[in-house]
């Protein structure tokens, strides 16, 4: 399977996730070191956790020197941008985040299938690569992980893993199609505010999923 086709998507996703982490750090009034730490964790944390679980060397992250440089440049620009520009970025953040989610989930699933792991491992690899960095970011920022609370998010990463694990999408064209499908579902869930069922122990009320 040729994964080079997702190089440009990885760049976009890395920029989106790195800037997302940097913005969260600035919202929490972290210093510049905190901005870089949170940005790098958001962009690469999911991949590191995935590597641990599927048996890939964690040190493989150091082979992504170009992506690390891109992330650092993106975070530096975000740190220096006027507040109005950052607010403008945030209006389109969901779309770029969806691109990153889709690209990283597909790549995580491809890594797991290439290593001949079972379907369960493919699902986990796709999910963790897509959402792991965001979870670590929110935990470090003292927030509840948004990817497990707001609109449907992790499900779309698992859907990508399922499609690849079952062999439904193999060729470059099919993987590109899956890439677009995952982005579309993610944006639909943002637009229509689709939610999974949840239950609050404070109120005892169970909220149904679907449209809000």
* Residue 152 banded pLDDT, cuts 50, 70, 90: confident
pLDDT for res 209: 59
The answer to whether residue 204 scores a pLDDT higher than 70 is no
Q: Which residues, in sequence order, are CB contacts of 209 under 8 Å at separation 6+?
A: 152, 194, 195, 196, 197, 198
Give how many domains the chain has, as a whole number: 1
pLDDT for res 196: 75
CA distance 28 to 18: 16
Instruction: Tell which wins on pLDDT, 36 or 15.
Output: 36
Identify which of 133-137, 159-163, 199-203 has the greatest average pLDDT: 159-163
111 within a domain of the structure (yes/no): yes
Strand ranges for the chain from DSSP E: 198-199, 206-207
Its domain, for residue 193, covers 4-207
212 within a domain of the structure (yes/no): no
CA distance 105 to 124: 9
């Amino acid at each position: 399977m040729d994964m080079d086709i997702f190089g440009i998507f990885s760049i976009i996703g890395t920029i989106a996730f790195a800037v997302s982490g940097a913005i969260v750090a600035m919202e929490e009034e972290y210093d510049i070191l905190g901005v870089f730490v949170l940005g790098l964790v958001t962009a690469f944390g999911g991949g590191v956790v995935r590597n641990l679980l599927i048996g890939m060397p964690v040190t493989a992250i150091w082979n992504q020197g170009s992506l690390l440089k891109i992330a650092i440049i993106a975070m530096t620009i975000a740190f220096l941008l006027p507040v109005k520009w950052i607010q403008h970025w945030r209006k389109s953040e969901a779309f770029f985040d969806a691109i990153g989610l889709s690209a990283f989930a597909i790549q995580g699933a491809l890594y797991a299938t290439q290593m001949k792991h079972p379907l369960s491992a493919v699902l986990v690899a796709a999910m963790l690569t897509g959402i792991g960095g965001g979870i670590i970011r929110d935990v470090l920022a003292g927030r509840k992980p948004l990817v497990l609370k707001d609109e449907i998010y992790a499900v779309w990463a698992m859907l990508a893993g399922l499609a690849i694990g079952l062999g439904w999408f193999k060729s470059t064209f099919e993987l590109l199609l899956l890439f677009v499908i995952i982005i579309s579902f993610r944006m639909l869930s943002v637009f229509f505010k689709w939610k999974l069922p949840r239950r609050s122990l404070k109120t005892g009320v169970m909220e149904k999923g679907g449209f809000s």
